[in-house]
Structure formats: structure tokens, C-alpha cells
Structure 1
Amino acid sequence: MTDRPRIGFIGVGLMGHGMAKNILEGGYPLTVLAHRNRKPVDDLTSRGAEEAASAAEMAEKAEIVFLCLPGSPEVEATVGEILDAKGATTTIVDSSTSNPVSTRALAERCREAGVTLIDAPLSRTPKEAWEGTLDTMVGASAEDFERVRPILDCWAGKVVNVGETGAGHTMKLLNNFLSLGYASLYSEALAIGAKNGIDAKTFHGVISGGRMDCGFYQTFMQYVVERDRDAHKFTLRNAHKDMRYVVSMANESGIASHVSSSVKNGLATAEAIGRGDDYLPMLSDVVAELNGIAVRKNSTE
């Protein structure tokens, strides 16, 4: 038996699977909800998790529910189910990348129902999710932050309280704007280089280890140079969604969105031509192909 609260986890996909696994390994009783892919749920139940048939059923059992969903529409619908159930859930932690405007409105709705909403979006990749070394930026009061901190520590190596509810999603979008902006820059620079006699390996040999190097650059180029499709598992569809949120936030703030709109439009083009399920480093292929540049299919070509 344990005196630890039962945790619910909705959204055990690429990121959520590892996060939920680490919550279990941290000694917390866990209930999970299946979505499109049974494999993560089967793995987690084999490790001791229970499975709920619906968000409402989970709300009857879990005191704290984590969400790791595609975006705000899914979060809004799921939070609505949890609140309508009027069950045991007193805290919802949204680890999705959501629109802060929606998050703040949901927080007020939760408050009226006696439930606390915390936003704790993620940075890094499924590899770090599995290893328990994700970064998370948390929107919560100081008291609520300290209350959920031990659970966050199960799956995160860096945990920062960035302000009240909604601040986590705001900071996450700014973080993603930087990374997706870099992806767009890398892709265009590589295309310009290819048209002018500089191949990807040469480009990488100059940038790697220099002042413009970083962890994101390395995973991006791991695909470009080595053709490792799993180097950075973040879809262009999700990237486009995040940049729509960034541009929306800029517009609502009265900020001219010259750069963010350009990044968003490049990702919108990628999704429109059927590449939404490709991973982010494959944006380099999209930009190359749109400019008439032949793309290598594997590392030996």
C-alpha cells in the first residue's frame, strides 16, 4: 500500500509513454487512458498501471491527472469531461503545448469547480522522456508548484516555475518559436549551400563545435547528414500547430509577427503538401525539394 496520490495520465504517446513509465517507477499508483495506440498502454499495464475506459472514469479514481495531448481543443474537451465527472480529481496538470489564452480560461473554469489547473509543458525529446530528463516550465502558484514538484521530478531533470497558470505555456511557445525558427534557418541555409557547391556534410563540419552549435542543431543534423529518421521525433504538423499559437499570441499582444509568421508559413506549406507526419529535421528535405534540389534517401547515397 502507498499513501501517495493516485495519478492519472491521458496521452501516453511519444512523450507521455516515458513520462508515465517514470511516474510508475517513482512509486506512484497510476491509471492510464488509451487513445490510438495500444502498445504504450499494454506496456504500462504490464508494469503495474491500471487502465481507465474514459476520462470520466479516470476522474473517479485519480487525484492528480496529467494531460499530454495534441493541443488546446483536445485539452478543453478532456478537462470538460473530468470536471463534469465531479470525481476525485483535485488537480489537472497540462503537459501539452497549449494556447495560453485557452489555458487561462480553463484555469478559471477549473477554479470555479474546485479544481486546480497547472500547466507544465515539455522541452526535449521522447528519448529524454523515457530517461526521465525532460525540461519543464511550470505555470502554478508557489504552493501548488511545491505540491506537484515530486511528481514532476519523476520525469524531468530541469523543473522551473515560470509564473502563474498560463505562464508555462507562454514560455513553451517562446521556446518552440526559437527551435522552429532555427529549423527554418538551417533548412534554408542548407538549400542555399547545396545550390552553391556546399553539401550538408561540409556545412556540418564547419558549424559543429562552433559558436552556432547546440543540442537542437545536433539532432537536426543527425537526420540531415546521417539520415537518422528518429533523431528528433516531432512532427511538422505539431510544429505548424505550435507556430499558429505563437502568431496568435503575438497578434493578441499587438506585436508585429514578421519572423513568427514566416516560420509558420513554411510549416503550413510543408503540411499542405502532405508532409505533416514527417519529423522536424525533414523540413530540410521539403525546402530542398521546393527549390529543385535532389534529396538523399539514405546515408550511403
Structure 2
Amino acid sequence: MERIGFVGVGLMGEGMAASMLKAGYPVTVIAHMNRAPVERLLELGAREAQTLEDLAANADVLHICAPGSPQVETIVEKVLPELPKGSVVIDCSTSDPVSTVMLAKRIEAAGSHMADAPLGGTPAQAAEGQLAAMVGADETTFARIEPILRSWAGAAVAHLGPVGTGHRMKLLNNFLAMGYGALYAEALALSRKVGISTETFDGVIRGSRMDCGFYQTFMGYAVEGNRDSHKFTLTNALKDMTYLASMAGAAGIANPVGAAIRNSYAGAVSQGGDGSEDYVPHLVDFVARANGLDE
């Protein structure tokens, strides 16, 4: 079986790596700033590499789950000299498609291949092997990696086109998702300003045509106070909306709604919502404070 290397066994990566181990793939991980997921994966049979170079030298297919394109570029710079010829680098991050296409050319020139396979889903779905993958790759590379992807993306594996297409689709997906979050936060602030409680608002929307899965995880914090109801950081939301703005600019399309959504998250981050545990549903607090409301 293909030897798997994995960089980034965090909230999503741990479940992905565990799913590949359960499917029988030999998986090598690298030390993470949080040792706990590494230790859990070692108990499942993973091997630990001490350096990125060691990880690359023992990987036929290398997964990367990083915060964004700058980190992915740094990782590729370090692993590229050691990658076996013919290996595949799969970027599962939400990255800038311009960077992705550039990296793909470098990796191909070095004798290997690249695919972008950003994720759809939550850490809970990752733990169950039920993520979705939006894949950009040539036909031959996709055919090779599809069985591996399906070990952790049991919900759906969609081959969308050449390298870069997966990241373009992921940004469009997150445009909608982060847009929902910005709308919900502003609607809840306005609701309270006009005398309608959050609980009353939720009682009308939940179960109606305006309800959806994202609404329910967002309101898991607003109504129930569950800070971990949707563990996607405000800084990642801002990063993704910044990438979306870049993509829109490159395409020559006006993106006024995207700009408004980006500014909502930028406002929260500038108010201090830049921590590793400041998640998208917490946007409701930052919008409330900006409008003179207690949280």
C-alpha cells in the first residue's frame, strides 16, 4: 500500500490520519505543537518522523493540513528535495489557488505530482472518517489517490478539475459559510436591539426554511453557550475571505458582499478575536459589543 506522510495532525488532521491507519495504510506523522494527537496516533500504529525531510523520504503520498498558503509553501520547500520521484503531495488546507498552481508546477518539475483536496466538515466528522473532499488533480493522479481520500472522506469525494480547482471551490464554499455567520451575528444584534431575544429569534428560525446545519452549529453557542459548537477560528475565517477577495480580483469580478463579510471578521479579529479558541460562532459577541450590547 502507499506509504502516507502527514503534516498537521490538528483538529482535522488527527481524524484523517486515524482513518487511514484504520484502512491499513502505513502512516508517518511529525511532531505537532500539541503532543496529545501525536501520541494517540502512535498508539494506533503510526510512526513519528523527527524532521520534515525524514517524513518526506518515507512517503509516497504526503498530506498537508496547514493554516494557509505561507505555511504550505514553507513545508513544500523543505520536503521537495527528499520526496521520492513519482510521489504525490496533497494539500488539504484552505489555500490561495494562485499559490497552489505555482507549487504544483514546482513539484511536477521535481518529478512528483500535486493535488489539492480541501476539506468539508467538522472535527467530529473527521474523527468518523466522514469528511468531504473537493479535489483538484489531473485524471491519473486522482485515480491513484482516490482510494486514499475515501478512507477519510466517506461523505463525498468530488473531482472538480485540474490542480487549483479544489481550492477555488473551497473558497466559494467558505464564502457562503462565513456569510451565514456574518448574517446571523448581525441579525441577532439587531434582534436584541428591537426587543426580540435570541431565544425567541431561534424559536422562529429553527425548523423553518431558513434553518440549516450551519445555523444549528452557530446557534449552539448563541443559544446554548457551547463554545465548541463549531470549531473554526475567526482568524481562519478572515484568512479565507482574504483569499476569496484575491481570487475575485484575479477573475476581474466585483465582490462587494464578500468584502462586507470579510470586514465583519476583520472587525472581530481587530477587537481581540485572534486566539486559537475564538471560533466563528463567537462572532455574535463581537458584533454585539460593537453595537453597545452586553454579550
Name the TM-score class by shorter chain.
Answer: over 0.9
Alignment of 1:235-250 (within 5 A): 235-250=233-248
Distance in 1 of aligned mates of 2:235 and 2:4: 29
Letter of the 2:286 counterpart: V
1:81 Cα deviation after fit: 1.2
Correspondence list, 1:115-154, <5 A: 115-154=112-151
**Paired position in structure 2 for 1:298:** none
**What are the superposed Cα offsets for residues 97-128 of structure 1, whole Å, 9 maximum, x if unpaired?**
00000000111111101111000000111010
Structure 1 gap ranges (5+)? 296-301
Query: 1:257 is aligned with what amino acid?
Result: N
The counterpart of 2:177, out of the listed 176, 179, 189, is: 179
Say which SS state the counterpart of residue 126 (structure 2) adopts: helix
CA distance, structure 2, for counterparts of residue 82 and residue 91 of structure 1: 12
Task: Give the secondary structure class of the aligned counterpart of 2:245.
Answer: helix
| 2:215 is the counterpart of 1:217 | yes
User: Unaligned 5+ residue runs, structure 2?
Assistant: none
SS of match in other structure, 1:206: helix
Match for 2:165: what amino acid? A
Is 2:158 the counterpart of 1:160?
Answer: yes
Q: Which residue of 1 aligns with 2:229?
A: 231
Structure 1 Cα separation of the partners of residues 192 and 90 of structure 2: 45
Q: Which amino acid aligns with 1:287?
A: V
The 1:286/1:169 distance shift into structure 2, 3 A limit, reads: same
Contact preservation (8 Å) 1:59, 1:88? no
Aligned twin of 1:63: 60
Structure 1 CA distance for aligned equivalents of residues 220 and 51 of structure 2: 39
Asked if the contact 1:62/1:89 (under 8 Å) is kept, the reply is no
SS for the counterpart of 1:92 is strand
Identical positions, percent: 52
Deviation of 1:88 (Å): 6.0
Distance 1:135 1:259, change over 3 A: same
Given the two structures, how large is their TM-score scaled by the length of structure 1? 0.95
1:118-176 CA distance string (max 9 Å, x none)? 00000111010001111110001222112111111111121101111000000000000
The aligned counterpart of 1:287 is: 287
CA contact (8 A) 1:65 1:89 kept: no
Q: CA deviation at 1:86?
A: 4.3
Hey, what's the Cα distance between the residues in 1 that align with 2:231 and 2:83? Answer: 36
- Secondary structure of the residue that 1:97 maps to in structure 2? coil
How does the TM-score come out when normalised to structure 2?
Answer: 0.97
Contact 1:139 1:164 in 2 (8 A): yes
Q: Once superposed, which parts of structure 1, at least 4 consecutive aligned residues long, lie more than 4 Å away? A: none
Q: Is the 8 A contact 1:60 1:88 kept in 2?
A: no
Partner of 1:265: 263
C-alpha distance after superposition, 1:157-216 (max 9, x if no partner): 211011110000000000000000110000000000000111111111111111111111
Query: CA RMSD, aligned part only?
Result: 1.0
Following TM superposition, by how much is the alpha carbon of 1:89 offset from its aligned partner in structure 2, in angstroms? 6.5
Q: Contact conserved, 2:56 with 2:79, CA < 8 A, in 1?
A: yes
Query: Does the Cα contact within 8 Å between 1:60 and 1:89 map onto a contact in 2?
Result: no
What whole-Å deviation, never above 9, does each CA across 1:47-90 have from its counterpart, x for those lacking one?
Answer: 11000111111111111000000000010111111112244671
Structure 1 position 193 matched with structure 2 position 191: yes
Alignment of 1:26-105 (within 5 A): 26-87=23-84, 90-105=87-102
Corresponding residue number in structure 1 for 2:109? 112
